Amino acid sequence: MLVIAYAVQLYTSAKRRREPQDPPPPPAGDVHLPLSSCLSWIPTICHPLLRSLVIHALRLGPRPHHVAFIMDGNRRSARVRNLPVRVGHEEGFEALKRVLSFLLKLDIPHVTVYAFSIENFNRDPGEVDALLDMARTRLVEICQHGALLQQHGVQIRVIGRRDLLPPDVQASCSEAEALTAQNTRGILNLCCPYTSQEEMATAIKRTIDQASDPAAITEDDIAANLYTADSPPLDILIRTSGVSRLSDFLLWQASESTILHFIIPNWPDIGVADILPPLLSYQAEVWVDKVANVFRWGPAADTGL
Ligand code: FPP
Ligand code: MG
């Protein structure tokens, strides 16, 4: 009898050991970017430590002031798993939260993302509805008290042809902006519905309207009328999904010293290791410039290239 009781006790304690309790859910807004599929061989238990090591190491060097993303590959990510396209976009939104959280922990204050192009209105109506529905409900969610943007003191700006959105989506965009209007530590420019050529045409029209002498208009006057005028020059532009095109996104802003980086993973699958190379390139460029300046007599000549 004693032996049976002992065996039962052994069995139940072993079962308890094999089925650990689920970890408590993370607090609202506390989301983590995975390390990336190429580092999936590293035991999961080491991920939080590695992630915070990466963040601490990057924070020792210069960090970009403005990073932009063409979040491409949502549908392909869903289709390879036989999931509806809508799921790809929903996972894309979760990826956006994780990437933002990572960049904001690095104190990168300005982030611009291509959420919906004016051309996207030509997609299947069901897909357009799913994307607009996300704008209707999820934007306000990340702007509420205690959520991601409030934790980091960042404003949201929905930029582009907002007048093309249904009235209730426009109202949600205004509500999200109003919730974060007092934040001063950075800006999330959410481009929706946007194209760069439309932005430039609008900026040129506004500049002409303001000018007393159109012949005296300069590039700076036009730049001051772009939707992104309150953000600093664009340091890094990243496009996911293995496509190397700009697709009418930030053409004016990316024309000078922006680092362009095209990466293979689809947007929903983006991880820390995918974002590291452009961040390290930026740090290397800043350090090389600093060293070059030390050995230079007088200011560097601008060679244009
Ligand atoms: C491009 O992938 C992605 C989009 C058109 C939508 C991006 C939107 C989000 C990530 C979420 C935030 C959006 C809103 C509106 C709040 P794709 O659809 O072109 O996919 P594919 O390249 O695989 O065809
Ligand atoms: Mg695409």
Q: For the chain, report the end-to-end CA distance as a whole number of angstroms.
A: 86
How far is it, in rounded angstroms, from Cα 248 to Cα 193?
12
Q: What is the CATH number of the domain that holds 183?
A: 3.40.1180.10
Which residues line ligand 1 at a C-beta cut-off of 6 Å? 71-76, 89, 92-93, 96, 115-116, 120, 131, 134-135, 138-139, 192, 241, 267
In a domain, 177, yes or no: yes
Residue 303 counted as domain residue? no
Query: What is the distance between the alpha carbons of residues 65 and 271, in angstroms, rounded to a whole number?
Result: 20
The domain in which residue 289 lies consists of 2-297
Mean confidence (pLDDT) of the chain: 90
Return d(Cα 266, Cα 244) in angstroms, integer: 13
- For ligand 1, mutation pick of 131, 239, 249 (most atoms within 8 Å of CB): 131
How far does the centroid of ligand 1 lie from the alpha carbon of residue 37, in Å?
20
Q: Which of 72, 118, 136 to mutate to test the pocket of ligand 1 (most atoms within 8 A of CB)?
A: 72
pLDDT value of position 42: 81
Q: How many Å apart are CA 51 and CA 53, to the nearest integer?
A: 5
Residue 302, in any domain of the structure:
no
Q: Which atom of ligand 1 is nearest to the CA of 134?
A: 16
Question: pLDDT tens digit string along 7-34?
Answer: 545 444 444 444 444 444 445 557 888 8
49 lies in a domain? yes
87, 118, 128, 266, 268 from 122: Cα distances, Å: 19, 8, 8, 22, 22
Amino acid letter, residue 201:
A
Establish if 139 belongs to a structural domain: yes
Residue 227 lies in a domain: yes
Q: Which residue has the higher pLDDT, 114 or 289?
A: 114
Residue 25 is predicted with a pLDDT of 45
Phi-psi region of 294 (alpha: psi -120 to 50; beta: other; left: phi over 0): alpha
The runs of H, that is alpha helices, within 144-218 are: 148-151, 167-180, 196-210
What is the number of the ligand closest to the CA of 121?
A: 1
pLDDT tens digit string along 249-303? Answer: 999 999 989 999 999 999 999 999 999 999 999 999 999 988 888 887 555 556 6
- What value does the mean pLDDT take over residues 230-235? 98
Q: Note whether residue 305 is domain-resident.
A: no
Taking the CA of residue 131 as reference, the ligand 1 atom at the shortest distance is 15
**Residues 6+ away with beta carbon under 8 Å from 237:** 67, 68, 69, 70, 246, 249, 250, 254, 258, 259, 260, 261
CB contact set of 38 (below 8 Å; sequence gap of 6+): 273
pLDDT tens, position by position, 179-223: 999 999 999 999 999 999 999 999 999 999 999 999 999 999 999
Question: How many domains is the chain partitioned into structurally?
Answer: 1
> Which of the residue ranges 49-63, 132-146, 286-300 would you say has the lowest mean pLDDT?
286-300
